[in-house]
Homo-oligomer: A and B are copies of this chain.
Amino acid sequence: MGTKERRAREKEQLQRQILSAARELFVNEGYENVSMRKIADKIEYSPTAIYLYFKDKADLLDSVCKETLLSLLNTLELLNRDKSNPIETLRKSGRAYVEFGLQYPQDYKLTFVIRPQFQQGLGLGEGSVGERVFNYLRAMVSECVRQQAFRQVDVETTGQALWSAVHGVTLLLIDFPDFPWTEKDKLIDTVIDTMIEGLKA
């Protein structure tokens, strides 16, 4: 038999091909400026073929963003997490988060700004990749409190506050490239270090 498996494999391959064409276009030209026809051209299929693999354009965006989140999660988890210095781990993770955003600015905006607009609220629900990213952050804060490097703060709120700070600096640097920022690395460090300083025991 085996032909069924081959066909399934081919379908999956085409799905991936669509996804990677969409990502490349979204990232380079912006979600709004990419038409289904452009994607279709790139993969040399008719525009409507895409609809056999994705519900609509927003679904395509959603899939692209899920991949981005997985990649971010992977980046964060690669950081060697030596428990002996949880503050340093937190600092490094914060930097890695911002740097990820700056390295793939359009991916970042797609995931954390554009998508929420098109898929109200989804993406951070239970079991989602987004939730796993946030869990990672929560665990780090928790460790800082446990080792009394931080004072007895509310882990949940603190995690969200830290996320706010790194999210903010990432987006400002992406969205206003012409603003006279002080040296970029200095700004990122200041944001992270000031937050950490404010949380110390």
Contact = CB atoms under 8 A, between A and B. Distances in A.
Contact of A178 (B113, B120, B165): B120
A157 B186 contact: yes
Q: So how many copies of this chain end up in the complex?
A: 2
Contacts of A181: 160
A140 to B, nearest CB: 15
A116 B190 contact: no
Contacts of A197: 197-199
B113 A190 contact: no
A49 interface: no
Interface of A: 30, 32, 109, 112-113, 116-117, 120-121, 124-125, 154, 156-158, 160-161, 163-169, 171-172, 175-179, 181-182, 186-187, 190-191, 193-199
